[in-house]
Amino acid sequence: MENVENVIVTKNLTKVYQMGVVRVHALKEINLTVQRGEFVAIMGASGSGKSTLMNMLGCLDQPTSGDYFLDGKNVNSLDKNEYAEIRNQKIGFVFQGFNLLARTTALENVELPLMYDRYNRIKEPHKAAKSALERVGLTDRMNHLPNQLSGGQQQRVAIARALVTQPSILMADEPTGNLDSLNSIEIFSLFQALNQEGITIVMVTHERDFADYATRIVEMRDGHIRRDWIIQNRRNAQADLVQYKANGSETEEIYEQN
């Protein structure tokens, strides 16, 4: 039995994609441990395997070989239903492209994952969805359709949808990849608050400045972990937000001063 405080443990996690005669080694024997309460930023060049790793960790896809222990349980040994169940129970996943249903209100989008909640862990779906939207600051936008919301608001709906099942881990693959600086910092401010409340976070980000909102950076290269370190001078998104709003759009200035 693995130590339960290690929420994520991978042992030689490997993923090979077969494309006709070409084999792409997207992940090469990744050994990664994430403890409960950490906020990990995964960085690395395009094609280095970040999304592949997130998909394995988020139980969206199975590795070719190696093991993945989630909360001490080897998820690769589970059958299809158990696998889906553990994902629904423990993980909230946020995508770069929001992935909201178009002709569906914010509230209905957030309620959606609860329809798959086979054990009815959440007793009052409507209420739970409302409070998730309140948590992300969208109390007055619940009945809006996605196209009536800004990009930042749409991503917050997607975060509410990820939170509505009360996961212990939030995973996000370039959650601010489609957002401008102000909206990005707002999302990181929300992530820092959620992390403060005890949710473990693993996210991919392209930008070093944004990675500094995390507590730890894992840098990937060619399917390997190249570097893995704890952030010494962690940035505070709430403070950056205040400064950003005071300075207008001078983000470069904010990052230089810190």
The contact set with ligand ADP (CB under 6 A) reads 17, 19, 24, 26, 44, 46-52
State residue 5 phi and psi, 5-degree precision: -75, -15
Considering the complex, state which of residue 42 and residue 201 has its C-beta at the smaller distance from Mg ion. Answer: 42
Name the 3-class secondary structure at 255. helix
**Angle between helix 151-163 and helix 181-196 axes, rounded to 10 deg:** 20
Considering the complex, state which of residue 52 and residue 251 has its C-beta at the smaller distance from Mg ion. Answer: 52
Token match 């993945």: residue? 68
User: Residue 17 CB, nearest distance to ligand ADP (Å)?
Assistant: 3
Interacting span for Mg ion (CB under 5 A) from 7-15, 47-55, 105-113, 243-251 = 47-55
Considering the complex, state which of residue 144 and residue 221 has its C-beta at the smaller distance from ligand ADP. Answer: 221
Radius of gyration of the chain (CA): 18
> Among ligand ADP, Mg ion, none, what binds residue 86 when CB lies within 5 to 8 Å by partner kind?
none
Alpha carbon distances (Å) from 102 to 116, 123, 178, 217: 20, 26, 17, 34
Considering the complex, state which of residue 48 and residue 195 has its C-beta at the smaller distance from ligand ADP. Answer: 48
> Among ligand ADP, Mg ion, none, what binds residue 17 when CB lies within 5 to 8 Å by partner kind?
ligand ADP
User: Residue 216 CB, nearest distance to ligand ADP (Å)?
Assistant: 18
Give dist(CA 64, CA 25) in Å, integer: 10
Interacting span for Mg ion (CB under 5 A) from 45-53, 79-87, 120-128, 144-152 = 45-53
User: Residue 178 CB, nearest distance to Mg ion (Å)?
Assistant: 13
User: Residue 214 CB, nearest distance to ligand ADP (Å)?
Assistant: 17
Check binding of 51 to Mg ion (CB under 5 A): yes
> Among Mg ion, ligand ADP, none, what binds residue 24 when CB lies within 5 to 8 Å by partner kind?
ligand ADP
Considering the complex, state which of residue 11 and residue 221 has its C-beta at the smaller distance from ligand ADP. Answer: 221
User: How many chain residues touch Mg ion (CB under 5 A)?
Assistant: 2
Considering the complex, state which of residue 27 and residue 132 has its C-beta at the smaller distance from ligand ADP. Answer: 27
Give dist(CA 195, CA 231) in Å, integer: 15
User: DSSP assignment, residue 122?
Assistant: S
Say if strands 216-221 and 65-70 run parallel, antiparallel, or are unpaired: unpaired
Considering the complex, state which of residue 44 and residue 152 has its C-beta at the smaller distance from ligand ADP. Answer: 44
> Among Mg ion, ligand ADP, none, what binds residue 87 when CB lies within 5 to 8 Å by partner kind?
none
Check binding of 55 to Mg ion (CB under 5 A): no
- Please say whether the beta carbons of 107 and 129 come within 8 A: yes
- Please say whether the beta carbons of 72 and 2 come within 8 A: yes
Helix segments in 114-199, DSSP class H:
125-135, 151-163, 181-196
Name the 3-class secondary structure at 257. helix
Alpha carbon distances (Å) from 141 to 117, 146, 157: 25, 10, 9
Residues that bind Mg ion (CB under 5 A): 50-51
